[in-house]
Amino acid sequence: MATLHVLSHSPFTDSRLSSCLRLLGPADGLLLCGDAVYALQPGSAQCQALDLMPDGIGLFALDEDLGARALTAPARIQVVDYPGFVELSCRFDKVNSWL
Amino acid sequence: MAKSLLIISRQSPWSGPSAREALDIALAGGAFDLPLGLLFLDDGVLQLAPAQQPAAVQQKDLAANLQALPLFGVESLYASARSLQERGLEPRALTLAVEVLDDAALIALIDRYDQVITL
Amino acid sequence: MKHLIVAGRRIELDKDGYLLALADWSAPVAEALAQQEQLTLSDEHWQILHLLRAFYAEFQLSPANRPLIKYVALKLGPEKGNSLHLNLLFKGAPAKLAAKLAGLPKPTNCL
């Protein structure tokens, strides 16, 4: 059962992102929102790691949170708005929020 | 059939309320006979370290509470092999009988449950 | 504030009638608490109360009904560790009432 993992903490202050990346199944998805979008900071190791994720894994980032932080998502990341967030939550079998 | 729930507990006992909240979800769910699993990941494995002294910082004894999980019907207990190893914890020395799983087994574990929450 | 007077000592209770301080518990206090519930403690009751105190000493929490039944069955056998026996002894609410009489905090995972 494919899982959508939702992260909202900065990858520079704790290990949620690195742990999550190791636990992604082949059909899982990862949605970055809040400070988790800092993982897309250009030139960061986190951004590189995301870029190298296998194609089967859906990578998403919330548009509003990117905009607020003046970040632009690389091509590998699909940018979604809030309705897109809801649609994703329904598309996957379950959602795992990393609180 | 009730949906199965995997609780991932990934904070140390001393970092705030997260470890206790994860345990409370497990105990409440167990008391209602929900099919539950509890996984200790990242700093969460520190909850299983031996000989901790919560009284030294006026806290309740989380390790003692964890021992009650099987009586509450929560018998599916897991820990990340990597998290244990990173922190120098020996699986044999842990205060709770957990199944130690590598990353591939953890992916399969998360896949198997109907619902997952990470605290 | 609710309280009991037992052998001339004032024993403080919370709003639900549970002891505020675990250390205040004694056999006469248990008898007084039971009297408030219109209950007379038999050997059967005492056996469960002592077991509950052992549970608390081991796990530092008050059990809900299911774990209480499981624990009693484990320690005293299934003739005692079943919901019928415990319900009869403790007026249909064994986890809550027995915890109260044993001087433990109210079980939190018990609706």
Report the pLDDT averaged over residues B42-52.
93
For residue C111, pLDDT over 60 is answered with no
pLDDT for A75 equals 93
Least Cα distance to B5 among B87, B66, B76 occurs for B76
The percentage of chain C sitting over the pLDDT mark of 70, rounded to a whole number, equals 96
Tokens of B77: 């207990």
Query: Containing domain of residue A52, as a range?
Result: 3-97
Domain ranges of chain C: 3-36, 43-101
For residue C16, pLDDT over 80 is answered with yes
**Chain B positions touching chain C (beta carbons under 8 Å):** 24, 27-28, 30-31, 33, 60-61, 64-65, 67-68, 71-73
Tokens of A8: 């909202």
Beta carbons of B110 and A97 less than 8 Å apart: no
The CATH number given to whatever domain includes residue A79 is 3.40.1260.10
Beta carbons of A19 and B42 less than 8 Å apart: yes
> What mean pLDDT, rounded, does chain A reach?
95
pLDDT for B58 equals 79
Return d(Cα A56, Cα C34) in angstroms, integer: 64
- The pLDDT tens digits for C57-105 are 999 999 988 899 999 999 999 988 888 999 989 988 899 999 999 999 9
- The pLDDT tens digits for A85-99 are 999 999 999 999 999
Burial of A13 (0-12, 13-18, 19+ CB in 10 A): exposed
Domain ranges of chain B: 1-6+20-48+60-77+96-119
- The pLDDT tens digits for A43-85 are 999 999 999 999 999 999 999 999 999 999 999 999 999 999 9
Which of the residues B110, B114, B117, B119 would you substitute to probe the A interface, choosing the one with the greatest number of A C-beta atoms within 10 Å? B110
Instruction: Give all chains having 3 or more CB-to-CB distances under 8 Å with chain A.
Output: B
Is domain B1-6+20-48+60-77+96-119 in CATH 1.20.990.10, yes or no? no
Return d(Cα B81, Cα B103) in angstroms, integer: 8
pLDDT for C109 equals 61
What is the ipTM for the molecules in this complex?
0.90
Write out chain C residues lying below 8 Å of B75, CB-based.
Answer: none
pLDDT for B57 equals 80
Task: For residue C110, indicate whether it is catalytic.
Answer: yes
For residue C107, pLDDT over 90 is answered with no
Return d(Cα C8, Cα B47) in angstroms, integer: 44
DSSP assignment letter at B105: H
Whether A and B touch, i.e. at least 3 CB pairs below 8 A, reads as yes
Task: Report pTM.
Answer: 0.89
Please tell me the CATH code under which domain C3-36 is placed: 3.30.1420
The CA distance from B37 to the nearest CA of chain A, in Å, is 14
Across the interface, of A3, A15, A19, the residue whose CB is closest to B116 is A3
Q: Are B26 and B74 in contact (CB under 8 A)?
A: yes
Tokens of B42: 């990242």
The CA distance from A31 to the nearest CA of chain B, in Å, is 15
Alpha-carbon radius of gyration of chain B = 13
For residues B104 and C3, the model is more confident at B104
- According to CATH, the topology of domain C43-101 is Arc Repressor Mutant, subunit A (1.10.10)
